[in-house]
Amino acid sequence: MAGFRETLSRMQIQKNVIESFKVVDLFQTSQKCIFTFDTINKTENGEVIKNDNKHIVTFDAIADYQSYGNKIFSSSIQLNQERFYCKDSLITTISFDNIPLLRYEVTISNMCCGKKSNFYRMILPLEKDIDLCRLFDNYSFCFNEMGWSIELIKTYIEGREFHIFILSNKGKKYIFLDCMATIDYEKFYDHCVCILCSLGILTGYFIENECFIISSNDSDFSTILYKEFRPLRESKFAIYKILPDNPYNFFPSNEAKNKYNLMAHIPSDIFTKLVNKTNLSLTLENSLFIFLESLSYPLDTQPACLSVVLEGLCNYVRGENEKAFKPIPNKTKANKLKEEMYNLLDAYQSEFAIDGRAIVEKRINDINSPTNRSKFEKAIELLGLKLKNYEKEALMNRNTFLHCTEELKTDFIIMKKDSPEYLKLFFASQVLIRLLYKMILKIIGYEGNIVNILKYNEDSFVSIKNEPMLIRI
């Protein structure tokens, strides 16, 4: 492992982070919060909510939004019968005293978002450790004024270089996402979401919760032009990681030192492909979000959500290989077949029930569309995956999961005697999770080992008795 890493070309990069951490400290200790305007007209009503030393403000006020020029917004806020005008500004800072709801003071930032591009940095507190250098093949050394060096990962979106690295401040770790080129605020935020979603797929940890965003007029971030605190949804945690990055998690100590060759290493171009595919396809992005959400769902609802993800991923593969999904690839011949089948309907006109002809016509119209089952099987085939019998069974059970019927087909599952019924559902859910991970990794061209979560989480099933802990895809 050490020898492998030493052969990598590592570029040394200097990072200015002291001023950035001052911004984090400011928001964590002050009674201020950021309200971000949208391009959508709406009304915001609410109250002051205190959470530890932080204040999250949803106004007891009315905010009206109007578009102004080229994505610049002219807005006004009414607080305590007074109206404050915010021209050419996307961001407004709301500060308040210790007596809630008595007096609000509005100050306008000099940041003009939308038209003017800047360099942006996003900082998110980490609720659990992630080890980027174990997972990724290529990284650079990153130095900062605090005297520390860490590993930095690079990726690219729409030609812009993004840096991802982790630093500690006052005993707490933070992940940094820097855009090394000028970019609009909203585009920067959307790209960061794609990066975090992609990291969530690879690490089992979708980092959200809260974030701090700063901007600068240069990529050194030495001078802060603008700062924002943004509360997010709760982070998502999987109970396992699909990619092995530490052999001591899977093998005894005396074997682990010789098993580093089985660990997963993500090339930077593979990660970049995942980020960009997520950025370009709403179908794939939505599928990944639902997948990450469902990994934290209880067992009784998880398989249904996973089945939705399965359909989303198959639709994505179908969109990239449309002709391969047609039973009759030649469109002209397919239309001729439909025409001849329509001509037969007149001869059977007297045989149709009420609305019967319309039903048959609809099926004829869909004659060149694959069934759901054949669509799933074709998508998996195109990705180069071969299904085991119990994986085919999981596909067949998709409707069972979606329609919440109690009966679950488990012909290929033989469990230990007296195992509770929920283990059947658990097994089916784990099969789907592993299959979905394999599909996602194949979509981005990954070749390597993954964790056999069926074996790792529960080895009581006879059907997986002889399977290894790590499998190659």
**What is the tens place of the pLDDT at every residue in 104-139?**
333 333 333 334 678 999 999 999 988 888 888 887
Give the helix/strand (H/E) hosting 324. Answer: none
363-383 mean pLDDT: 78
CB count, 10 Å around CB of 272?
A: 18
- pLDDT for 412 equals 52
Inter-residue contact 13 to 167 (CB < 8 Å): no
- pLDDT for 54 equals 31
Give the distance, in angstroms, between the CA of residue 464 and the centroid of all CA atoms in the same chain. 30
- pLDDT for 409 equals 52
pLDDT over threshold 90, residue 226? no
Highest-scoring range by mean pLDDT, 59-68, 89-98, 202-211, 336-345: 202-211
Inter-residue contact 397 to 411 (CB < 8 Å): no
pLDDT over threshold 60, residue 89? no
Cα angle for residues 454, 377, 196 (degrees, 5° grid): 60
- pLDDT for 31 equals 43
pLDDT over threshold 50, residue 464? yes
User: How confident is residue 413, by pLDDT bands cut at 50, 70 and 90?
Assistant: low
In this structure, what token pair is assigned to residue 368?
A: 């060149």
User: How confident is residue 419, by pLDDT bands cut at 50, 70 and 90?
Assistant: low
Range with the lowest mean pLDDT among 42-46, 60-64, 202-206, 424-428? 60-64
- pLDDT for 472 equals 92
- pLDDT for 161 equals 96
- pLDDT for 277 equals 96
pLDDT over threshold 80, residue 165? yes
pLDDT over threshold 60, residue 188? yes
Average pLDDT taken over every residue of the chain: 75
**What is the tens place of the pLDDT at every residue in 291-321?**
999 988 887 788 888 989 999 999 999 888 8
- pLDDT for 438 equals 95
Task: Report the Cα–Cα distance between both ends of the chain, in Å, rounded.
Answer: 21
Give per-residue burial for 74-110: e unless 16+ CB within 10 Å, then b.
ebebebeeeebebebbbbbbbebeeeeeeebebeebe
Task: Give the chain's length.
Answer: 473
In this structure, what token pair is assigned to residue 135?
A: 């997972």
CB count, 10 Å around CB of 220?
A: 13
What is the DSSP secondary structure assignment for residue 233, as one 8-state letter?
Answer: P
Highest-scoring range by mean pLDDT, 54-58, 150-154, 296-300, 352-356: 150-154
In this structure, what are the phi and psi dihedrals at residue 292, rounded to the nearest 5 degrees? -65, -40
Which stretches does DSSP call E strand in 111-159?
119-125, 140-144, 149-157
Residue type, 81: Q
The answer for 204, left when phi > 0, alpha when psi is -120 to 50, beta otherwise, is left
